[in-house]
């Protein structure tokens, strides 16, 4: 796999917009962050809700996942999709072909990978999908190739799930962490993310005063980027979309801005055969 700085660009297919690194596909890897438009869910999940746990109709969620995969040219792999029971923890799971289809469908099928906030694989044709609505999505790509999708809420970010995932990816790929590329997707920005003084103090003590945004809120994006760098990822190999979910509810879901009743956009990665 060629080593080059990662990029993100917006691509729209049949009304579904994703942010992806188009050049990465030439290396046999698809990564994508979805937007919320182009799906079939009704309010308050309008419209490309990819999560099965928020109260949306299961058949609608399954239709949205198929549409999302179709927009990426991955529809034949719908039944091999792998999702996780995200619990804002630190657990990561290396999945392989026996895990294909776990959590693929909201309506029946195998259950999601239990209690897991980071999925990794070195196997082809296993799309990995985690869902978000303010927390920080991270996709990691290592030589091999080996890929990971990481869910970093404030608990996971404080505990260093991004750094831990980089280390795990390095172990699995037998590569130096400096060769890993990181894509950071849409998340809530510090100007909209007020937390209590106790939580903010923990972040400041761990990551320094820059964890506190100018507004006084918590800058989760900075924290995750700092965690990636501390694990050895070259800053030139980190790209962030920089979109605030709370400000851009026309494009992304926001748990905080939408009073806790909303859908979820996704972060996906897949190695192609």
Q: How confident is the model at residue 5 (pLDDT cuts 50, 70, 90)?
A: confident
Query: H or E stretch including 65?
Result: helix 58-71
CB 151 within 8 A of CB 137: yes
For residue 41, CA distances in Å to 52, 54, 55, 60, 259 come to: 12, 12, 11, 6, 18
CB 270 within 8 A of CB 127: yes
**The pLDDT value given to residue 253:** 98
Rounded Cα–Cα distance for residues 68 and 48 (Å): 8
Q: What is the mean pLDDT of residues 185-212?
A: 95
pLDDT tens for residues 52-66?
Answer: 999 999 999 999 999
Q: How confident is the model at residue 2 (pLDDT cuts 50, 70, 90)?
A: very low
> Which residues make Cβ contacts (< 8 Å) with residue 95, sequence separation at least 6?
82, 102, 113, 119, 120, 121, 123, 126, 128
Rounded Cα–Cα distance for residues 6 and 167 (Å): 19
Q: What is the mean pLDDT of residues 245-250?
A: 98
pLDDT tens for residues 151-190?
Answer: 999 999 999 999 999 999 999 999 999 999 999 999 999 9
Place of tokens 């419209």: 47
Q: What is the mean pLDDT of residues 202-211?
A: 94
Task: Give the Cβ contact number of residue 168 at 10 Å.
Answer: 21
User: How buried is residue 37: exposed, middle or buried, by Cβ count under 10 Å (0-12/13-18/19+)?
Assistant: middle
Rounded Cα–Cα distance for residues 133 and 52 (Å): 13
Q: What is the mean pLDDT of residues 84-104?
A: 97
* Structural tokens at position 91: 């657990």
**The pLDDT value given to residue 3:** 53
Percent of the chain residues topping a pLDDT of 70: 99
Three-state DSSP at 13 gives strand
């Amino acid at each position: 796999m060629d080593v080059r700085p990662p990029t993100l660009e917006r691509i729209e297919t049949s009304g579904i917009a994703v942010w992806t690194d188009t050049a990465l596909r030439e290396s046999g890897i698809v990564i994508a962050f979805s937007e919320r438009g182009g799906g079939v869910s009704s309010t308050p999940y309008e419209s490309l809700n990819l999560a099965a746990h928020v109260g949306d109709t299961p058949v609608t969620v399954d239709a949205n996942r198929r549409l999302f995969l179709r927009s990426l040219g991955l529809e034949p792999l719908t039944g091999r999709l792998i999702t996780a029971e995200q619990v804002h923890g630190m657990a990561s799971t290396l999945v392989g072909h026996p895990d294909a289809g776990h959590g693929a469908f909201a309506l029946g099928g195998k259950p999601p990978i239990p209690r897991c906030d980071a999925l990794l694989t070195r196997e082809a044709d296993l799309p990995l999908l985690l869902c978000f609505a303010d927390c920080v999505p991270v996709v990691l790509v290592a030589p091999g190739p080996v890929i990971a999708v990481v869910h970093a809420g404030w608990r996971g970010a404080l505990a260093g799930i991004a750094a831990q995932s980089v280390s795990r990816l390095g172990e699995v790929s037998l590569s130096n962490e400096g060769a890993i590329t990181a894509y950071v997707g849409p998340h809530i920005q510090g100007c909209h993310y007020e937390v209590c003084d106790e939580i903010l103090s923990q972040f400041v003590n761990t990551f320094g005063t820059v964890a506190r945004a100018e507004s006084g809120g918590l800058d989760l994006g900075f924290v995750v980027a700092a965690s990636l760098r501390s694990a050895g990822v070259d800053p030139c190999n980190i790209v962030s979309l920089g979109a605030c979910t709370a400000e851009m509810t026309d494009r992304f879901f926001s748990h905080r801005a939408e009073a806790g009743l909303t859908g979820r956009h996704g972060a996906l990665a897949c190695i192609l055969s």
